Chain A
Amino acid sequence: MPLLDQPPWPASPEFARAPRINALQGPAQYLFTGEDALQIDSFDSAAGVTLTIAGAMLGTDLQLLPFSFTVTPTTNRVVTTVRVGVDSGWLEHIRIIVTAGAPLLGQTFVFVRICRGTLANALTLGTIASGYVTANTDLYWPGGTTQLPLDGEGWAQAVTIGNPAAGTDWSQTVPTNARWELVAASALLTTSAVVANRQPRLIADDGATPVFEAASPVAITAGLAIRESWGAGAGGPVSADILTGGAVSSGLPNDLYLPAGFRVRSATGAIDVGDQWSAIRLYVREWIEGV
C-alpha cells in the first residue's frame, strides 16, 4: 500500500520515517496499558456518602473485564483521591453513582481521570468525565457531559448559625473549598429594656474589610423581638412592620458571590449587653470550589 503524503511542515527524521499505514483505531477512546490507572477525585459536603464506580474494560481476545469499587469522600469539601489499577485494555464504559447518603446536586462532585501509576507521584493524563452526582443522577462515560465544580444551579441550603453570646453580633464564615451566593438572611433580635436605638446591619466582608453593608431601614428600640431579614434583589429598604408584625426587611444585591474565608455577619449599632441575636438563618447557594 502507498504511504500517505508527507506533511507540508518539516518533520523530525523519526516521524518522517514512520509508516502511516500502521496507525490503529482502537475500539474505544481510552487505552489502559497496565501502567495506567483510574483516578477518582471527589469533593463532598454531605454526610454518609459512598460512591460506587463500576465499568468494564475490553481486554485481549475481546474479553470484557468488569470492575467495581467504592469511594467514601470526606465531608469537608477537601479532595479525596483514589487511584485504582484496572485491567489493560480499552475502557468501554464507566458509571459513578451514589450508593449511600443523600447528597443534593451541588454537594458531591467527582472527576474521573486516567493517570499513569497509582502512587502519590502518578501523572494525571486526562479527564474522562466530571460532574455532580446524587443517588439518581449518575455520572457516566461515554455520552455524559463534562462539568466543572462551579457549573450548575448550586446546592440551595439554609445554613443554621448558632447564637452568639448576649450583647454580641453573629458571624458566619464561608467554609473552606466552598463558594456561596448569599440569597437571603434572617435573624431575630431581642432587645433588652435598656433604652437605645439599635441599628442592625448585615455585612459581607473578606475576613476583615467590608465588601457590602446593608443597614436596617429603622432603628430597633428597647424591649422588642424583631425579625430582621435581608433578601437579594430588593432595591433598598423594603418594609418595617415593627408594631404589628415584628419584622423588618432590607435589600441585598443580586449575585453576591462569596468565596471561602469571606464572612456574613451582623454589626448592630448601639447593641446593649442584654440584647440577643437568635434563630439565625442564611439561605445560600453553594458550589464546591474544586481547589
Chain B
Amino acid sequence: MGKFKCPTCLGTYEDPQPNGARYYHACPPIGASELERMPEGQVRQLYPELPAAFTRGDLERVCLQRAVNRDNHIDENIAPGVPGRFVKPNDKLDDDDLPRVSAPRKLTHRRPL
C-alpha cells in the first residue's frame, strides 16, 4: 500500500485502499476559501456571474451552484469509453496501461509521502 500526495491539490491518499481496491484520486473542485485568496480577476474569469462587489458569501453561493476544477486538475480515473482489451489465455495485462481522465496513464505525477 502506498501513500501519496497530489502535487495539484496537496491532498493525501492511499492506493490501493485498505480493502485492496485501487484508489483513483481526483482533485476536489475549487472552494470558496481558495477563491477568496485568488486575485479578483482570476475569480471573475471562473465565475463571471459574481456581483460587482462580492463577499465570501457570494463565493460560497456560486461554488455550490457550479463547481469549477482547478488548473492542472488531476483525475486518475480511467477515461470513460475506453474500449476493452484482448488478452491471450493465461496472460496478464498491465492494470495501469489505459488513458486517464486527466493524468498520465502511468501516474508519474504521484508524490510518495
Contact = CB atoms under 8 A, between A and B. Distances in A.
A63 interface: no
A228 interface: no
B95 A271 contact: no
A146 interface: no
Q: How large is the interface on B (under 10, 10 to 19, 20 to 34, 35 or more residues)?
A: 35 or more
Nearest to B93: A74
Interface of A is mostly: loop
A99 to B, nearest CB: 12
A107 B27 CA distance: 25
A169 B31 contact: yes
B89 A70 contact: yes
Given A261-B80, A267-B64, A169 B28 contact: yes
Q: How large is the interface on A (under 10, 10 to 19, 20 to 34, 35 or more residues)?
A: 35 or more
A157 B19 contact: yes
Interface string B75-93: 1011110101111111111
Interface string B12-28: 11101111111111111
Contact of B60 (A76, A159, A210, A269): A269
Contacts of A237: none
A80 B89 CA distance: 11
B46 interface: no
A177 interface: yes
Contact of B66 (A69, A71, A209): A209
B79 A168 contact: no
Contact of B85 (A70, A81, A260): A81
Interface of A: 41, 45-48, 69-72, 74-84, 107, 120, 157-165, 167-173, 175-177, 201, 203, 205, 207-210, 213, 260-261, 263, 265, 267-273
7 contacts: A79-B85, A82-B86, A82-B89, A168-B33, A168-B34, A175-B78, A268-B31
